[in-house]
Structure 1
Amino acid sequence: MSISSTSLGERVSAPSSLNLYRAVWRWHFYAGLFVLPFLITLAITGGLYLFKDELDNAIHSNLKRVDMVENASAALPSTIIANAVAAVTGTAVKLTKPADPGASTEVTVSTPDGKRAVYVNGYTGEVLGSLPDRGTVMWTIRTLHSLKYFGTYARYLIEIAAGWSILLVATGIYLWWPRNQTGGVVSVRGTPKKRVFWRDMHAVTGIFVGAFIVFLAITGMPWSGVWGAKVNEWANGNNFGYPAGVRVDVPMSGDRLNDVSKTSWSLEQAKIPTSEGHDHGQHMEPSPAMPMDHTGMSPDHADQMPTPIGIDKAVARLDELGLAAGYAVALPTKPEGVYSGSVYPDDLSKQRVIHLDQYSGKPLIDMRYADYGPLGRGLEWGINVHMGQQFGLANQIVLALACLAIILLAVSGGVMWWKRRPKGSLGVPPMPQSKGTLYGLAAMLAVGGIIFPLVGASLIVMLFLDLAVQKLGQRRKTAATS
């Protein structure tokens, strides 16, 4: 939402207004220089991920879709798991039930080479094939969108880009604000051959899509490397957000829910309880002469352990408790482990996590969306809308249009800059005559930097770079006149 230098004098005339305008314009340019490439990438990957289910079901239809069988009984979960492990040697760690009658059942198998997702026909038990865990096209798009694909440090750029996006919108609104002009406010003048066309296209698109950029930036912050991690830790305080009375006298393990199964952002750090039945004899120490089996327990000790209910009864119990279709069950891999059933459908009200004692089938923790604290509910709502889930198809279409508008905003900004910049120059907008105005604006922006530390650090870096650019420009002028 920049403006050409030729019309600058027509839009602002008072010296103080001119100084402020130039300072805002300069920082808007810097914000755009840094953010626009990220916005294009985020808009493309985010726009695709809005339709993750539709695209994955189409691309991986041979694995994810099965022929529906009317009135047919489903294969037992234990049979499905046995068939999956027979096809992919390893240890089954999770079972994901189909979300609809035409979907396959997914079994996550841990192998020496990493986890694999094995897809099984839930009616016949036939293994359809496998992929690396989270190896679908849409999971790849998601890791590209968050820059997680490129490692931990690359994800920090998302937090910085989100903060600078908000700065870009704020400064853009100031530059767009009508100052006695009639064109370029909500209409586009000229033709694509003229610079004013791209200026107006950029400004008008920006003013309409600006609110979406701010919303997506804020709701995307929970996934960021520094701010997101700290807020998650704070939001999951008091034993990770479990409501009072839900987990009274339930022993908790050191394992986190996100380590065993995909979960909502608010529960990624939630601890998993331990099965109460394991307490029987778990502190018994075998004598040195006592023989041991392959599990490390003596036969006498093993005989004293209660019998697990098994996956078939665990699934039946979760069905009985009313867990919504499409839920996943993380399987216990240790004697003290639990069956963790979790589901995160588009309807937030149906989000739920149930931990079952693997010996008695007793629900140790039953957590619903309504049990989250106000911060957790607010963050989850924002994330759900951000991902295009909360309001169904309308949510997807509106955000897809916003993504297209963001791409247009970035492209028009680039074309406008290219047409405006002097040949052989970066085309940085002019400095305000009073440098104090620029520093004052930077001080105000620092408030946002305190809230978002990485953004604040990048603002400081950009301020020093700006000073360096100024000094370089002064040296060139001095050299040219000497």
Structure 2
Amino acid sequence: MRRAEPADGPDATLLDAKGPRKPGLAAARRPASASLHRVVWRWHFYAGLFVAPILFVVAATGAAYVFRAEIEDYAHARLRFVAPGDSRLGARAIVDAAQSAHPGMKPSALELPADADRAAIVRFGKGPVAYVDPYRGRVLGSTDPAQVDGLAAFFDVVLSIHRQLFLGSVGRLVVELSVGWTIVLLATGLYLWWPRKLGQAAGVWRPRWRAKPYTILRDLHAVGGVYMLAPALVIVVTGLFYTLVWSEAFHLLTRDRGRRPVAETAATPPSDPSRPALTLDQIEVLARARYPGRSLAFTLGGEADRGWEVQAANDYNKSYGPYVSARFRLDRLDGGLLSHATLAEDERYWWHGWAYPLHVGSVLGPATKVLWFLTCLVLCALPATGVWMWLKRRPRGGSGFPRRPERDVPRGLLVAIVVMAIALPVVGLSMVLIVLGERLVGLARAA
């Protein structure tokens, strides 16, 4: 049997056109649990009302972006993938092959993916990007950054909408407000769903398909939300790290928590200028010995006294764990380590290695990406079905807003609201504005 719901709960007709009713004898006898349920229901309603349009847009763009890497790989498979051979060519041979296809141009960077079936990439500054078969030295083709890649441009637009709604800092604040209220929405939704008997299946763990259309939709809303609650919370909470106010506050609170800023140690000039410098192939061997199994990126054509600049990282789109990245410089004469810094040591973005794979679903590879995609679809459906149910049950001529509780807010819930308002400052500010708005509306009605 499901939890008995008060008269103004999710299944009842909401506020009438005349506004809140005066508490009577029945209200005075109503147990505190009913008052708690009413408070939670009110905040769930407000959260859904505020979040609905923005959450739909953010979730839809998130779903569209989840498989960006896979879609682009498929679209550009001719350039990005090769048939593995018996042995790889050295780094210098790969660069020379790319340069032969672009005579007169100076290469600026070389990327050697860790995957055996991936092509090597040679960049020519702001010019073309050449893809080279690392086994046969054959140039597969080149792309020109000056020419618009329609697929990449599409995903860039999707990402811009997802992060800031095309509104810059204002859009980031709106998205942050939506993210914070979504946490409130999920928490209150779990409370409203929680039944007296978890063994009850119909309407709790599965929809009642033979019921009235409204009941079926409500069950889909509740059951879908509870099944996807865990991944939804992971997506939403990790999304806070990329917001405007919350991320800055988090940085201020954690910047002195034993993390050290990324620092570059100055390279000492070569003691023996006549000594020959190490070749690119030798630097590659040293880098692979230091970071086996990682993709390597070399900066080419830098100043001789600064050493070889190298980045070693895993593929953040299929990391099967955290995204790991290290930048270091090797002495051009003896290969000694001149500087070294990892993402985990970065003062500001040390959390990115875990937050990003968890946010986009790449933490366990394709399986979690599929789950994250489905969760985004559910997050699209929740506000849509919630708004539909509100409009369906709204009384004619009334707003349909839930009535205020006739008892004082339970102290425990009040503490939880205050803690959430502090933990989510943008949400906390909006809560204050909501309370002030209600008071003003009440004063206006009393006048």
Fold-level similarity (TM above 0.5): yes
Residue deviations 1:289-321 (CA, integer Å, cap 9, x gap): xxxxxxxxxxxxxx9799865655433431232
Partner of 1:410: 383
- 1:81–1:356 Cα change, 3 Å: farther
Question: Which one of the candidate residues 196, 214, 239 is aligned to 1:195?
Answer: 214
Q: CA deviation at 1:225?
A: 1.9
Partner of 1:324: 293
- 1:138–1:328 Cα change, 3 Å: farther
Q: CA deviation at 1:167?
A: 0.9
Give the counterpart letter for 1:389 in structure 2. Answer: S
Q: CA deviation at 1:355?
A: 0.6
d(CA) in 1 for partners of 2:397 and 2:82?
Answer: 60
Question: Which one of the candidate residues 131, 142, 145 is aligned to 1:131?
Answer: 145
Confirm or deny that 1:363 pairs with 2:337. Answer: yes
SS of 1:457's equivalent in the other structure is helix
Partner of 1:3: 10
- 1:187–1:101 Cα change, 3 Å: closer
Q: CA contact under 8 A between 2:203 and 2:223: conserved in structure 1?
A: yes
Question: Which one of the candidate residues 115, 120, 142 is aligned to 1:100?
Answer: 115
Q: CA deviation at 1:339?
A: 0.2
Confirm or deny that 1:163 pairs with 2:137. Answer: no
Partner of 2:364: 391
Give the counterpart letter for 2:433 in structure 1. Answer: V
Q: CA deviation at 1:21?
A: 2.7
d(CA) in 1 for partners of 2:44 and 2:232?
Answer: 15
Confirm or deny that 1:56 pairs with 2:72. Answer: yes
**Number of corresponding residues:** 414
Give the counterpart letter for 1:224 in structure 2. Answer: T
Q: CA contact under 8 A between 1:85 and 1:91: conserved in structure 2?
A: no
d(CA) in 2 for partners of 1:364 and 1:148?
Answer: 43
d(CA) in 2 for partners of 1:380 and 1:321?
Answer: 20
Confirm or deny that 1:446 pairs with 2:415. Answer: no
d(CA) in 2 for partners of 1:204 and 1:315?
Answer: 53
Q: CA contact under 8 A between 1:28 and 1:168: conserved in structure 2?
A: yes
Q: CA contact under 8 A between 1:46 and 1:403: conserved in structure 2?
A: yes
Q: CA deviation at 1:56?
A: 1.4
Confirm or deny that 1:42 pairs with 2:58. Answer: yes
Residue deviations 1:95-121 (CA, integer Å, cap 9, x gap): 32234343233345554xxxx772422
Question: Which one of the candidate residues 263, 270, 274 is aligned to 2:262?
Answer: 270
Confirm or deny that 1:428 pairs with 2:428. Answer: no
Q: CA deviation at 1:3?
A: 0.9
d(CA) in 1 for partners of 2:113 and 2:123?
Answer: 14
Unaligned 5+ residue runs, structure 1?
242-268, 281-302
Question: Which one of the candidate residues 26, 34, 38 is aligned to 2:42?
Answer: 26
- 1:86–1:461 Cα change, 3 Å: farther
Unaligned 5+ residue runs, structure 2?
16-25
Give the counterpart letter for 2:337 in structure 1. Answer: P
- 1:352–1:306 Cα change, 3 Å: farther
Give the counterpart letter for 1:418 in structure 2. Answer: L
d(CA) in 2 for partners of 1:117 and 1:30?
Answer: 52
Q: How does 1:58-457 map to 2 (within 5 A)?
A: 58-66=74-82, 71=87, 73=89, 76=92, 77-79=94-96, 82=99, 92=108, 94-108=109-123, 110-111=125-126, 118-122=129-133, 123-125=137-139, 127-131=141-145, 135=152, 138=155, 140-147=157-164, 150-178=167-195, 184-189=203-208, 194-232=213-251, 235=254, 237=256, 240-241=259-260, 270-277=262-269, 309=278, 311-330=280-299, 333=302, 336=306, 339-345=309-315, 346-348=319-321, 351-360=324-333, 361-366=335-340, 380-423=353-396, 425-434=398-407, 436-437=408-409, 444-457=416-429
- 1:142–1:85 Cα change, 3 Å: farther
Residue deviations 1:401-440 (CA, integer Å, cap 9, x gap): 3223323323321221221223465432222234x43999
- 1:437–1:154 Cα change, 3 Å: same
SS of 2:110's equivalent in the other structure is strand
User: How high is the TM-score relative to the length of structure 1?
Assistant: 0.70
d(CA) in 1 for partners of 2:101 and 2:435?
Answer: 57
Q: CA contact under 8 A between 2:14 and 2:393: conserved in structure 1?
A: no
Q: CA contact under 8 A between 2:66 and 2:373: conserved in structure 1?
A: yes
Q: CA contact under 8 A between 1:339 and 1:358: conserved in structure 2?
A: no
User: How high is the TM-score relative to the length of structure 2?
Assistant: 0.74
d(CA) in 2 for partners of 1:80 and 1:403?
Answer: 44
d(CA) in 2 for partners of 1:195 and 1:13?
Answer: 31
SS of 1:364's equivalent in the other structure is strand
Give the counterpart letter for 1:363 in structure 2. Answer: L
- 1:453–1:70 Cα change, 3 Å: same
Q: CA contact under 8 A between 2:193 and 2:204: conserved in structure 1?
A: yes
SS of 1:329's equivalent in the other structure is strand
d(CA) in 1 for partners of 2:351 and 2:67?
Answer: 23
Higher mean C-alpha displacement, 348-357 vs 385-394: 348-357
Q: CA deviation at 1:32?
A: 0.9
d(CA) in 2 for partners of 1:308 and 1:426?
Answer: 77
- 1:272–1:223 Cα change, 3 Å: farther
d(CA) in 1 for partners of 2:177 and 2:244?
Answer: 10
Q: CA contact under 8 A between 2:107 and 2:300: conserved in structure 1?
A: no
Q: CA deviation at 1:31?
A: 0.8
- Same amino acid, percent of matched pairs: 25
Q: CA contact under 8 A between 1:277 and 1:359: conserved in structure 2?
A: no
Q: CA deviation at 1:343?
A: 0.3
- 1:238–1:388 Cα change, 3 Å: closer
Q: CA deviation at 1:169?
A: 1.4
Q: CA contact under 8 A between 2:130 and 2:139: conserved in structure 1?
A: no
d(CA) in 2 for partners of 1:124 and 1:140?
Answer: 34
Higher mean C-alpha displacement, 355-364 vs 124-133: 124-133
d(CA) in 2 for partners of 1:108 and 1:230?
Answer: 38
